[in-house]
Amino acid sequence: MAHQHSHTGHGQHHSHIDPDAGDARVAWAIGVNMFLTVAQVIGGIISGSLALIADALHNFSDAVALIIAFFARKIARRPADARMSFGYGRAEVVAALVNYTTLIVLSVYLFYEGVIRFFEPEPINGWIMVWIAALALVVDLVTAALTYALAKESMNIRAAFIHNVADALGSVAVIVAGTAVILFGWTWVDPVVTILISVYIMWHVKSEIGETIRILMLGAPLDLEPEQVAAAIEETEGVAEVHHMHLWSMQERQPALTAHLVIDTDAWQKAEEVRNSVRLTLLDRFGVGHATLELEQADRACVGSSRFGHQEE
């Protein structure tokens, strides 16, 4: 996200897309998916294909995912204010969680429907299925192309992008199911494909939702080992120990840290310099841009304090 690394010029590790151009891409993707959802639902009802309706629901969730992602991107770019002192960046993380949760509900429903239809098959028009699914595949590929570059930078758009890739595969599966109906009259392939689509959605959510929850739960970033960070702080000349340390993510790819530094008594005159060198270490070695460090003199430090977090007295 372009707004994220404004304090370091621009994030060194990935090329940025202009936010407005990004918004336009997302808006186009929403429009195309909404159009497709309507076409698929009508096609699913006319042809009697549950897999087509499953794909339509999935496409609709795509459009909703993109709508949520679109507004979250807008909100995330707002500057911090007195009430929201950390800024609005987490709007994207919340949006990702909402999207993944709706996907879980959707896939459970599709699984249930698929199982029921498997035991009570209904007549299906294979040709309508194939044509509409082919249209869907084209739309999915267009949407994927629109959101691919943005997905690398934001978990919010990545959630929407994964919806989309799953969708493209769903469309391929519906084409296969439709072909089976045309060639062999196998209507059972339709519910089987529906069940497979739902399992596939679940599998994807499982792999992605953990990171979203970890950020909201203020967990330490996965690529930073808290003990290593603490050790690096204590290696700094003049630091006797570090405690009450909190390491978390403000939002995706934006680590933050607060800690109490206990300064050696003889280094107390240079306490400010010690703090600055700790700050530099955090930024250079660990990429921690937000650091709040409290200074304590060694002989007046907190007693019995915990290394990480705040111990309840």
The CATH number for 98's domain is 1.20.1510.10
Mean pLDDT along residues 133-143: 82
The residue out of 163, 183, 216 marking a domain boundary is: 216
pLDDT at 313: 44
Note whether 83 and 41 are same-domain residues: yes
* Range in 194-203, 227-236, 279-288 with the lowest mean pLDDT: 194-203
Q: Which pair of structure tokens corresponds to residue 168? A: 């493209």
Half-sphere exposure of 284 (CA within 13 A, CB side): 8
Query: Quick check: is 313 in a domain?
Result: no
307 within domain boundaries: no
Q: Answer yes or no: do 49 and 130 share one domain.
A: yes
In one letter, which amino acid is 206?
A: K
Neighbours of 3 (CB within 10 A): 15
Tell whether 310 is covered by a domain: no
**Sign of the CA dihedral 44, 45, 46, 48?**
positive
> Is 0.75 topped by the overall pTM?
no
Is 102 inside any structural domain? yes
Query: Of 197, 216, 235, which marks where a domain is finished?
Result: 216
- Burial of 74 from C-beta contacts in 10 A (0-12 / 13-18 / 19+): middle
Task: Taking residues 188-213, report their average pLDDT.
Answer: 83
The answer to which of 94-98, 156-160, 191-195, 222-226 has the lowest mean pLDDT is 156-160
User: What pLDDT, on a 0 to 100 scale, did the predictor assign at position 19?
Assistant: 64
> What is the structure's pLDDT at 5?
32
Q: Per the domain annotation, does 270 fall within a domain?
A: yes
| Last residue in a domain, options 184, 216, 248 | 216
Question: Do 207 and 273 sit in the same domain of this protein?
Answer: no
Better-predicted residue by pLDDT, 77 or 5: 77
Which among 250, 252, 253, 259 has a CA at the least distance from the CA of 291?
A: 259
If we measure between CA atoms, which residue out of 125, 147, 159 comes closest to residue 23? 147
Within this chain, do residues 100 and 198 fall inside the same structural domain, yes or no?
yes
Contact status, residue 286 vs residue 223, Cβ threshold 8 Å: no
Residues 6+ apart with CB under 8 A from 22: 2, 73, 150
- Name residues whose C-beta falls within 8 Å of residue 286's C-beta, 6 or more positions apart in sequence: 224, 229, 232, 255
Q: Note whether 44 and 162 are same-domain residues.
A: yes
- Other Cβ atoms closer than 10 A to 198: 25
Higher pLDDT, 208 or 86: 86
Domain that holds residue 288: 226-300
Residue 64 lies in a domain: yes
Q: Total domain count for the chain?
A: 2
The verdict on 108 and 245 lying in the same domain is no
Q: Output the domain CATH number for residue 252.
A: 3.30.70.1350
- Shared domain for 146 and 246, answered yes or no, is no
Strand order in the sheet with 290-297: 239-249, 255-263, 290-297
Split at pLDDT 50, 70, 90, the class of 6 is very low
- Answer yes or no: are the C-beta atoms of 155 and 252 closer than 8 Å: yes
Average pLDDT over every residue of 115-130: 79
Which of 7-21, 113-127, 142-156 has the weakest average pLDDT? Answer: 7-21
Residues 60 and 186 in one domain: yes
Is the pLDDT confidence value at 3 over 50?
no
- Are 24 and 167 within one domain? yes
- Per-residue pLDDT at 99 exceeds 60: yes
- Check whether residue 104 and residue 180 sit in a common domain: yes
Contacts of 23 (CB under 8 A, 6+ apart): 70, 73, 74
Q: How far apart are CA 40 and CA 244, in angstroms?
A: 55
User: Do 68 and 139 belong together in one domain?
Assistant: yes
Q: Is the pLDDT of residue 251 over 60?
A: yes
> Per residue, what are the HEC states of 124-183?
CCHHHHHHHHHHHHHHHHHHHHHHHHHHCCCHHHHHHHHHHHHHHHHHHHHHHHHHHHHH
One domain for residues 154 and 44 = yes
